Amino acid sequence: MHIQSLSASVRHVFCRTTILSSAAILSAACWGLGTVMSRAVLDTLPPFTLLVIQLGSSVLFLSLLSTISGKPPITSVRELRAGLSGLLEPGLAYLLGTLGLALTTASSASLIGAIEPVAVIGFAWLFLRERITWRIGLLALIAVIGVGLVSASDGAASHRGSVGGDLLILLGTLAAALYVVATRRLLGDREPLTLTLVQQTVGLFGVAALWLAASFFQHPVAALPPVAPSIFLQAIISGIIQYALAFWLYLIALRGLPASIAAFYLTLIPLFGVGGASVFLGERLTFWQGIGAACILGTLILLSARRQAEHQEYEGC
């Protein structure tokens, strides 16, 4: 009976770990592919305007899901206060990223953004008191190198970026890392869907207020040019994929995984982005991007094997 109970427990742990890992991988796929869709729409819509459309579409989609699933409406002050973390991401992180990208190069932004997993691990150790072993640190370093190879090989910069632009990208990246750690603490007994909805609703109000201010002063980043219905539909779909599904799936994974472990799956985002660009935009993959992809996938495989071994050792005690 003891052996059967132990076997059932191990199977339960394995299934739960598989579900959480799958949710994290799917969230990275949504972020990566959503970025490819956004890149195509940015040829027509200014970045700030696109962000408002995407966030608005995401909030409507999440509200519909919440209604269908029978979740009660968000009325308590506690839930609304939890939504303030949405000012970090998608609010501040995407706002600073958008402004910084206008001043620096895409390659510089990608390389700076590659430090987010390391920042999450550092903040998780500092604020959540998560134990960081030397193996986790080494795997994080290899994964970040892989992200750097994938991102840097995405094309040479046509001009040098500015220090101010790079600083804005860095601040946006740190805001995103703080969001992950803050959300890990907030999840607790909260439903990921409910928390995602309230966070993005708060983020939408913040971004929309800034967009209206920029529109009042007729800034080009907040212009609303006439667009074809197909472009507008693509902006809506990209918002649902890149914001609603990506954040919701990641919060499902983050609820059951330590923030320092969930951070590793963020390294898959540029991998899915480059793969999506290759399939949908016809961009060619380089040799170094392949090496970077191997580094990323290798670290995730090693991390998964290590965690599975730890679970089995724990259950065997």
Q: What is the pLDDT of residues 212-239, one digit of tens each?
A: 998 888 878 778 888 888 889 999 999 9
Tell me: pLDDT of 102 over 80: no
Would you state the pLDDT for residue 247? 95
Tell me: pLDDT of 105 over 70: no
127 or 94, which is more confident? 127
Would you state the pLDDT for residue 3? 46
What's the mean pLDDT when you consider all of the chain?
81
Tell me: pLDDT of 40 over 50: yes
* Span 207-217, pLDDT tens digits: 899 889 988 88
Q: Which domain holds residue 242?
A: 2-316
Overall average pLDDT of the 50-77 stretch? 85
Number of domains observed in the structure of the chain: 1
Task: Flag the least confident range among 59-73, 160-174, 235-249.
Answer: 160-174
Would you state the pLDDT for residue 240? 96
Would you state the pLDDT for residue 61? 96
Residue environment code for 192-208, b if the CB has 16+ CB neighbours within 10 A, otherwise e: bbbbbbbbbbbbbbbbe
pLDDT > 70: percent of the chain: 81
Tell me: pLDDT of 289 over 60: yes
Would you state the pLDDT for residue 214? 86
